[in-house]
Structure 1
């Protein structure tokens, strides 16, 4: 993001401190470096320097490598062990060896593999790519305990922020987000950037100008512009940096992109004295949770146990506490009902 357009992190930090105090929260807890680090992937020891603007920015390959190692170290399986490369890669139908260079810090993953790693660990789509300031900005926005609430969504603004057409935003708010293949999604959002972020003369930036910003040729973006292929990870990072958008702009699925835009808008509004509400709650409400619970309620006890085990795995890799007995430090409780409770739609 161009420096002139980026928020002053020190001011943002002070604003979040004030919001925390007004809401009765301990600012030191809200802005704990370890907590922010889990949200953004930046090493907790670096966060004060990032806020002060004095932290050196690591090369992309090293940054992605460090964040991948941090994901494996902080988001473990239900037994408290690091997820194996094979288990992570299996989730997106790739061999574990394909993540070897990423784990060793000797190379970047393919764009689809980066998307798969982030989806596996339940982190936002730019987690591996975002530069430190972008990452901390996002964490601070997500941490603000007293963000204001707006009225009806401005579809055009949300479209500009997310790269989604207004029709898809309506569908997403209604709980039925379109499911595009990654290649088509990245192509559409790239074209959205070229169409909505123009040169000073009102014309789209050329492929050559975009590619030159990250020392590549315009031809390297031709297939992406035609919708015929995915860019590599370095090119995706370069495109997003060129246009000053979040490091996950090309990769975020519609629900995540919309939730992120809503979080940013709520943070801008920051009306003191209102109760905070997680911006993801509005998106979650749009999904038909009751039908999921009803269907799960018809499972046998063995089916409930299988579902509980699956949820433990999912919660563990996203860094959320699981149920008792599922592994060290787990506290979340999943109840396996008897047959009668299951038949009556008993919820976990």
Structure 2
């Protein structure tokens, strides 16, 4: 079995604390358990034990259940209310009742439902499930200096599982939309091809499946492109190859390491922006472009756009000042026809 190295949380945390001090910020605030819990999905009260390596491993069903509950608790609508199961599921064309077992902790959602939940709340979906745009953005944001630059398509292809041509289209603002089944199969094939055994041959389906106590036959349909794996199989595949598992599937150590690394990149980015005044000019240009296009909207269009942005910010936990509640306003997110192609509908 190929075992991925476990991240050294103490080293990562100490590095982020030093960055915070260098930026004149209090490490205790930057690394508060409340903030780490929001970013990682790990309960704040468990974070000290996870950092110390003393927390027991949590079964997948319980882990996904509690992460889902934290998403609903910490990423509410703009009125401060939890999103209903119906509103979440409707976003990916599914009935609210289909999320009942997940909400109650009695069962796991399908892979399509997991992708939809993570997309709805704006959290990273992991190697197998992230769409092309978010996968490329994640790769560019997490790559070390000098690696994963926009012109290094082969490197970006390796870490995203997306072909260089598809990456080029994504960088040009034209990301291809694939049916989830095709995307997961291609990413799985990419993992087997680009992360082989020591002798250069791909790991067998049996070797991969045995790492999460399953049979190789359980991955046969995925390898043939005939169906999606279970959520447990997807988690096992990503863990076997050491790639990011996403918000719902990552174990506590991986989730906390990702949160710490994200804070570190945020601190470093702030330092770089302070040194480069051109970035402020570029950001201002982007804002002017958006405002110019929005200026063509009708008053009703302006309100729809504002409501949609409020919903997006609230779902990502970034809406600090909520406007007064409008009883006549629908609670669900605003979407136009065709926002979700039929191929992306959850099974």
How far off its partner does 1:119 sit?
0.8
In structure 1, C-alpha distance between the alignment counterparts of 2:82 and 2:156, rounded to whole Å: 37
How far off its partner does 1:24 sit?
1.6
Does 1:7 pair with 2:18?
Answer: no
SS at match of 2:77: coil
CA 325–275 in structure 1, closer or farther in 2 if over 3 Å, else same:
closer
Instruction: List aligned pairs for 1:1-348, cutoff 5 A.
Output: 5-126=5-126, 149-150=145-146, 152-153=149-150, 154-248=152-246, 274-275=272-273, 292-321=290-319, 325-327=323-325
How far off its partner does 1:306 sit?
2.2
Q: Which sits farther off after the overlay, 319-328 or 18-27?
A: 319-328
How far off its partner does 1:316 sit?
1.6
In structure 1, C-alpha distance between the alignment counterparts of 2:206 and 2:3, rounded to whole Å: 23
In structure 2, C-alpha distance between the alignment counterparts of 1:242 and 1:4, rounded to whole Å: 7
Q: Which sits farther off after the overlay, 300-309 or 30-39?
A: 300-309
CA 189–101 in structure 1, closer or farther in 2 if over 3 Å, else same:
same
Q: What are the Cα deviations for residues 3-59 of structure 1, in whole angstroms up to 9, with x where unaligned?
A: 663331101111111111112222112111111111110111112221221111110
How far off its partner does 1:229 sit?
1.3
How far off its partner does 1:62 sit?
0.1
In structure 1, C-alpha distance between the alignment counterparts of 2:159 and 2:126, rounded to whole Å: 14
CA RMSD across the alignment: 3.5
How far off its partner does 1:292 sit?
4.7
CA 112–271 in structure 1, closer or farther in 2 if over 3 Å, else same:
closer
How far off its partner does 1:216 sit?
1.7
In structure 2, C-alpha distance between the alignment counterparts of 1:273 and 1:194, rounded to whole Å: 38
CA 199–186 in structure 1, closer or farther in 2 if over 3 Å, else same:
same
How far off its partner does 1:158 sit?
2.2
In structure 2, C-alpha distance between the alignment counterparts of 1:19 and 1:41, rounded to whole Å: 23
CA 4–218 in structure 1, closer or farther in 2 if over 3 Å, else same:
closer
In structure 2, C-alpha distance between the alignment counterparts of 1:289 and 1:196, rounded to whole Å: 39
CA 114–98 in structure 1, closer or farther in 2 if over 3 Å, else same:
same
In structure 2, C-alpha distance between the alignment counterparts of 1:176 and 1:245, rounded to whole Å: 25
Count of matched residue positions in the alignment of Structure 1 and Structure 2: 294
Instruction: Tell me what 1:343 maps to.
Output: none
Instruction: Confirm or deny: 8 A CA contact 2:206 2:216 kept in the other structure.
Output: yes
SS at match of 1:6: coil
Instruction: Confirm or deny: 8 A CA contact 2:20 2:27 kept in the other structure.
Output: yes
In structure 2, C-alpha distance between the alignment counterparts of 1:2 and 1:28, rounded to whole Å: 37
Q: Which runs of 5+ in 1 are unaligned?
A: 130-137, 252-259, 329-348
Instruction: Confirm or deny: 8 A CA contact 1:126 1:247 kept in the other structure.
Output: yes
How far off its partner does 1:302 sit?
2.2
The higher relative CO (CA closer than 8 Å, separation ≥ 6) is in 2
Q: What are the Cα deviations for residues 214-251 of structure 1, in whole angstroms up to 9, with x where unaligned?
A: 122212211111222111101100111111111039x9
The normalised TM-score by structure 1 is 0.74
How far off its partner does 1:207 sit?
0.9
How far off its partner does 1:209 sit?
1.4
How far off its partner does 1:148 sit?
7.4
SS at match of 2:44: coil
Q: Which runs of 5+ in 2 are unaligned?
A: 130-137, 250-257, 327-347
